[in-house]
Amino acid sequence: MKYPLILGFGIVAVDVVVWRAKLPGNDLARLFIRLALFFALSGVLFSSGLSPFTQAPYADVIELHWSGQILEIIWWLMGARLLTLSLDTLLLPRAWRKQRLFSDVFGAVVFLAAAVAALGFVLELPVRGLVATSGALAIVLGLAIQSTLSDVFAGIVINTTEPYAIGDWVTIDDVEGKVVEMNWRATHLLTGQGNTLIVPNAVAAKAKITNNSRPGDVHGVALVLEIGPEVRPRSVLDALERALTGSNVILSTPAPYARMKRTTANSVQYEVVAFVDDMNKKLAVSNELFDLCYRHLTAAGVALRALGVAAPALTSHDEKEALLRRVSLFDSLSSEEVSRLAKHLTRHEYQANHQILAPDTVPDSLSIVHSGVLSVSVVEAAGPREISRVGPGEAFGEAGLLAGIAMQVSISTLTPSVLFQLAKDDMTSFLKDHPEVAKQMCQLLAYRQDKLGKLAMPMPAEREHDHSLFQWLIGKVWNRHALSDDAGSN
């Protein structure tokens, strides 16, 4: 074969172009092209007497001799690289290819073996002495990089056992984050604060690891609450179970639960556990669940308070006033106005699965939930669809009470519930003495309508388009409760 060196270096140049330009774009096709180029280079070398297992010929022409030596060394290194790529592309699972640990370690071993083989076969150096010297050098280096080597071997264990993979949400030593990278030295976590936390593999291998992404469709949310020991546990557990019922985002399977966790000298710890189907929902559900627990405990007469301090006794009068103050509709009322309005509240008890409000009904009273859980649903062509749940401290029916607007939703109890109601006549009497309160309520009602849209309170056709929603509501309230314009203008 004429000009084997030129042909060999030409094949190497084509391989470099394919490698650097990533042509073609498919990894598997590119690998087969590079393997074909390697076999072509092997054919050129062996057919021209340039065997990679011996020194290159042309000893009398120093330029040709060293060119042949370089080409033979390139053959060894090229073969090592293609062997690593073949293992990575054809044999390793996709998850391992993303983590890069096995590819990097195997590639380093193969390249080291190829370098020793090239020194021994091509350059005919004393490999035994080199191996002996490298062994002593390896001992020195091993002592110097002990921690790094422990990370490497721990990384091999982690990748073999696969306690987590890239994309999983894990907790390592009480630090929670999303796995974004795994390499031969460390695991990179993206924390909830948007920071990157690097956990050495040696630390991760010894730590307790909680993988929140397995199983993939169930994620737990847990809260621990401390209650005074004088409160009956059954009362606390009943309130916490109602709180769990108050969220329609929580999964029914596995079933959520509340339990008494442990007792201390000054308190009893209760744990509330629920499950969601998406990791991204955990924060919102955790906050919602804590709010629900607080409201249902308060409704049951159990307050989260400083331990060791006796809880104040609430009278029936105080209970009604406290309930009114938790309703945003009455935020603008003074203490005297709240006290007067609280006297007109009437108590109503309902069993579970009782319909409180039917669709297209104009409520003639304002209902405030004292305890229990209610479901709010709309009737669609496919059947009823729940849109929300109502718990202690929440009110409904204000649109009908103030402006005579029909509600387009159905409201029914999910658990035994206690409601306090304010009748239309009592509200009318109150608004005649405080017409400015009617305006403030209309402002809040208009704001809530903008937030809710037409689902719960659609606007009737008689509304004039040139009037704002607030002006239209003011007119409806004035007409429904027979308020005087002179009072309203004050």
In a domain, 152, yes or no: no
CATH of the domain at 203: 2.30.30.60
CATH for 233: 3.30.70.100
Examine the domain organization and report whether 175 and 233 are in the same domain. no
Q: Which of 244, 267, 299 is the last residue of a domain?
A: 299
* Confidence band for 464, pLDDT divided at 50, 70 and 90: very low
Query: Residue 456 pLDDT > 50, yes or no?
Result: no
| pLDDT tens-digit series, residues 313-328 | 544 457 888 888 888 7
**Residues 45, 192 within the same domain:** no
Residues 254 and 114 in one domain: no
**Per-residue pLDDT at 372:** 93
417, 393: one domain = yes
pLDDT in tens, 255-295: 999 999 888 777 888 999 999 988 888 889 999 999 999 99
- The better pLDDT of the pair 249, 305 is held by 249
Confidence check: pLDDT of 98 > 70? no
Full domain range(s) for residue 171: 164-211
Query: What does the alpha-carbon distance between residue 237 and residue 429 come to, in Å, rounded to a whole number?
Result: 41
Alpha helices, H only, 279-397: 282-299, 316-325, 335-342
Q: Is the peptide bond before 254 cis (omega within 30 degrees of 0)?
A: yes
pLDDT band with cut points at 50, 70 and 90 for residue 70: very high
Within this chain, do residues 13 and 132 fall inside the same structural domain, yes or no?
Answer: yes
Mean pLDDT, the chain, whole residue set: 82
387-401 pLDDT, tens digit each: 888 999 888 888 788
Which two structure tokens, joined as six digits, stand for 448?
Answer: 């809530």
Cα-Cα end-to-end distance for the chain = 110
Residues 344 and 471 in one domain: yes
Q: Which of 175, 192, 211 is the C-terminal boundary of a domain?
A: 211
> Are residues 135 and 264 located together in one domain of the fold?
no
In a domain, 120, yes or no: yes
Distance CA 27, CA 92 (A): 14
pLDDT (0 to 100) of residue 383: 85
Mean pLDDT of the 410-428 span: 91
For range 70-99, the mean pLDDT: 79
Residues with Cβ within 8 Å of 232's Cβ and at least 6 positions away in sequence, in order, are none
Assess whether 325 and 466 both reside in one domain: yes
> Which pLDDT tens digit goes with each residue over 128-157?
666 656 666 666 666 655 677 788 788 878
Q: What is the 3-state secondary structure of 428-462?
A: HHHHHHCHHHHHHHHHHHHHHHHHHCCCCCCCCCC
Choose one of 265, 299, 333: the last residue of a domain. Answer: 299
Query: Do 463 and 411 form a contact (C-beta atoms < 8 A)?
Result: no
The reply to whether omega before 215 is within 30° of 0 (cis) is: yes
The pTM is what?
A: 0.56
**258 in the same domain as 126:** no
If asked whether residues 378 and 469 sit together in one domain, one would say yes
Residues 344 and 444 in one domain: yes
CB within 8 A of 435, min separation 6: which ones? 483, 484, 487, 488, 490
Q: Are residues 236 and 277 in the same domain?
A: yes
Q: Does residue 182 have a pLDDT over 90?
A: no
Q: How many domains does the chain have?
A: 4
Please tell me the distance from the alpha carbon of residue 325 to that of residue 260, in angstroms, as a whole number: 31
Q: Domain for residue 192, yes or no?
A: yes
